[in-house]
Structure 1
């Protein structure tokens, strides 16, 4: 087998010409598209990383807000318990004072009615005594009849 310099040189020139043509019209646009694709992928990766960080931040903010809401709800519940306990104590105290006032009023009313009844009874007894005395004077009876007359009037007073 012989080595031909001219064939080798023509092959090398053809290869270089083909390489230059492919580089200009095929590899250049192909590498450009691949570079654009690489940039797009990097951009999407950066966007995804940024979105992930934002999501984590939003999640931590939501957790903090939820915890704050729980604390506020607990404080509101505690405040409601305190208020209801105070109101219950106020109502009980008010009821006790009202009961005491009503009891005092009732005692005063009873005392007043008792005094009226005693006064009325004294008046009645005085009237009856006068009637007994007038009847005794009218009849001029003996002791036995006088006793019967007094007993009769006492029974009348007892039945009234």
Structure 2
């Protein structure tokens, strides 16, 4: 789960991997994304952009085009938001009936709201807030996600924040 943090930290696909099938468009009911968007607006200062982003299903080991680069979907990655193309990738298996998997979609919708609301010093800087909101949503459902906060904060530092 923590590897989702490093999506903005260049998990670029090695050339040896080669092309994989394109991710499949996925239909998530409007009622699901609207409920998650309403929750985000009720629990943060963000206004969720109108309309749902395109949502695609991909698999671990697959290569996707993410923000203009090839990205190898790591086995720990659950979802990713592509700001450039305004789309979300969910890593299968995924089900709206599983609260942990649904919270991955929530997390990416939070990023969508974050990146449309303001500029961040780097994409990773938005992660702690997204994880805090995701944790609150899960807590409302009686679920402790067991996030590793030290690791989240370490991965949330921008390259300019790191000492050589």
| Structure with more contact order per residue of length (Cα contacts < 8 Å, sep ≥ 6) | 2
- TM (normalized to structure 1)? 0.17
- TM (normalized to structure 2)? 0.17
More helix as a share of residues: 1
More strand as a share of residues: 2
Q: Which has the greater radius of gyration?
A: 1
